[in-house]
A and B are shown apart, each in its own frame.
Chain A
Amino acid sequence: MFNKFDVLETIDMIEREHLDIRTITMGISLLPYIRETAESTAAAVYEAVCRKAKDIVKVASQLSGEFGIPIVNKRVSVTPVSLICAAFPQEAPRVGQALDAAAKELGIDFLGGYSALVHKGTADYEKIFLESIPELLSTTERVCSSVNVASSKSGINMDAVRLMGEIVKRTAEATRAQDGLGCAKLVVFANAVEDNPFMAGAFHGVGESGTVINVGVSGPGVVKHALENIPDANLNDAAEMIKRTAFKITRAGQLIAKEAAKRLDAEFGIVDLSLAPTPVMGDSVAHILEELGLECVGGHGTTAALAMLNDAVKKGGVMASSHVGGLSGAFIPVSEDIGMIEAADRGMLNIDKLEAMTAVCSVGLDMIAIPGDTPATTISAIIADEAAIGMINNKTTAVRVIPVPGKDVGDSVEFGGLLGRAPIMPVHKTDSSRFVLRGGRIPAPIHSNKN
């Protein structure tokens, strides 16, 4: 018989503290479905995705019932579409449309992989592909796009950074009627990972197997609750508590991941140990930091508290899973975290502090609404800053900002659902265009020369 306190603890975690499996993501390689033309490729891709993932929703619901733990999202990631469409890049949106149709057929909310990897250089076909992103994101509902523009090994492709500033602006404009919602489905990465299960940045790397199940766990509420029980503990003990909690959460994720892989006839890939917040009360990473003793996230001490949280989550999680991957750390998407929204509303959290925070946690400037008249070159400069942090620190960083058309500081934007709400955050008005327009490539740092 189990210890009754253990049993009740699990029940409490699920019922009161929002413990859930955030996503089961099936990675599917599209390389075998490249055909002579875009039309036949789109048909083959649609058929393959629908066939391989046909049971994903059903299996997730079964597992959720059997183990009594909610499984929030079911998703699919695919090989970067720029590679699939390299022979006919002008027609890449046709494949994107097929993927959107497949996502609808499967009943999943997002499918990731309208992506390109251009961290060292942008081939002609990739440039054409990148130009198609705004149109694709405005004409599809569920397809997500990501572009890797830098890596620790190859430096920062500043030509791609410059272009992506424009692509972000055009995407916002193309989805003006929805307050630039398209940009919520577009991530610009440095050191993108090939097995990330979380949207919008998920894609299925070329080094991956044919069909893989990656699982993202979550549980900011569980961590916060655990810390509430030790309000006066020193930081050694607080870190230890976070580790132990992350261990338990991840073990649940590992169990679901293995079982899901078995039932969906796929390989078990990784468990991503991220603490992913939602806009729901009690599911906030910001509130964990405040529980550690900060009056408000964004104040001095935030970076240190986040560094500790991120590291403790990794340490606890690594012990609990046979394969850890993806982004694995704390997420700080502003619009998706009620504590971050409140801090931004009060003017306590700004883009500069967020940038510092991205140096010690798992992602980057995420879901930040900025004024619609922000120049493309300024967005490129923001991307370059984040890429530099990622490149130098050997970590993944990303930029997902939304220049909301027609809105300015003081306004707020509502994306709804998991994407949440965001007050428009000011960006620096100084001109960075001369730097951005230089183009070229920022060389890889000296410590990347490890061979």
Chain B
Amino acid sequence: MRAVVTVTGKDKKGIIAKVSSFLAEKGVNVEDISQTILQEYFAMIMLVDISEMTVELSELSKECEQLGKEIGMSIRLQHEAIFNAMHNI
């Protein structure tokens, strides 16, 4: 089972480190990362494996949102199915 984590906001130091160590604590493995900086706007997309996560998916998604607030970014974690449904036929 995989999910997509998106982190957006103003660029600052240490974002990847914070997000990936948080995910590691929850038993989530990062499989792929892509990041872009447009002007000062930072957008990172991570594809993560959640088959061994230690909390429920909806709970994990809430915690990501919370972490986002703490570090002043917007962080979302969503099951990959939503992107598959909307963008792949």
Contacts and interface: CB of A to CB of B under 8 A. Distances in A.
Interface residues of B, number: 27
Contact of B58 (A2, A3, A4, A62): A62
A248 B85 CA distance: 8
Contacts of A254: 85
Contacts of A255: 81-82, 85
Contacts of A252: 82, 85-86
A4 B57 CA distance: 22
B81 A65 contact: no
A11 B79 CA distance: 13
Interface in B1-42: 4, 6, 8, 32, 34, 36
Contacts of B59: 65
A254 B81 CA distance: 11
B61 interface: yes
Contact of B82 (A4, A10, A15, A62): A10
B36 A4 contact: yes
Given A8-B43, A65-B58, A68-B78, A2 B85 contact: no
Most buried by B among A1, A2, A252: A2
B83 A65 contact: no
Interface string A374-415: 000000000000000000000000000000000000000000
A65 B57 contact: yes
A63 B61 CA distance: 11
B43 A67 contact: no
A61 B59 CA distance: 11
Interface of B: 4, 6, 8, 32, 34, 36, 43, 45, 47, 56-59, 61-62, 74, 76-83, 85-87
17 contacts: A1-B32, A1-B34, A1-B45, A1-B47, A6-B83, A6-B86, A7-B6, A15-B74, A61-B58, A65-B62, A66-B57, A66-B78, A67-B78, A68-B76, A251-B86, A252-B86, A255-B85
